């Protein structure tokens, strides 16, 4: 069951990545902390591991060595992210730039406020 949730997380993060050009730091890390109960270090390490090729290989290895990578989460979220990014990128192409900028800004404010004010 958790694998399905990880896949859905990856899919949502992928779609938002395709829409906004963002992913790990703004979507996956907060979701892993707030929804899946990972520590901040585990969330960062796991996110690096799922985005490894080639972005964060050395950093992911260091997090893995410290025990802060959840490979099962990284594998399934990576699969969802792969296809989700394609969907997001496809569907956002017809949204006018000013509207996209506003959506992006609102999304970042919500995530930032949650990271600061919610445990």
pLDDT digits (tens, 9 = 90+) for 54-92: 666 777 888 899 999 899 998 898 888 888 888 888 888
Each domain of the chain, given as residue ranges in start order, spans: 2-117
pLDDT over 70 at 45, yes or no: yes
Residue 21 to residue 23: CA distance in whole angstroms:
7
Alpha helices in 35-70 (DSSP H): 40-50, 57-65
Structure tokens belonging to residue 35: 């929804």
Position with higher pLDDT, 31 vs 104: 31
* % residues pLDDT > 90 (the chain): 18
Report the pLDDT value the prediction gives residue 3, as an integer from 0 to 100. 92
Position with higher pLDDT, 57 vs 109: 109
* Residue 36 backbone dihedrals phi, psi, to 5 degrees: -115, 0
- Residue 22 DSSP label: -
pTM above 0.75, yes or no: no
Specify the DSSP element, H or E, that contains 19: helix 2-20
């Amino acid at each position: 069951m958790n694998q399905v949730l990880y896949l859905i997380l990856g899919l949502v993060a992928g779609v938002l990545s395709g829409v906004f050009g963002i992913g790990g730091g703004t979507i996956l890390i907060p979701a892993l902390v707030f929804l899946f109960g990972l520590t901040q270090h585990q969330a960062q390490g796991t996110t690096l591991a799922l985005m490894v090729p080639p972005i964060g290989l050395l950093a992911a290895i260091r997090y893995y060595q410290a025990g802060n990578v959840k490979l099962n989460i990284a594998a399934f979220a990576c699969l969802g992210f792969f296809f989700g990014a394609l969907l997001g990128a496809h569907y956002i192409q017809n949204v006018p730039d000013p509207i996209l900028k506003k959506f992006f800004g609102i999304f970042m404010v919500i995530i930032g406020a949650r990271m600061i004010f919610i445990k």
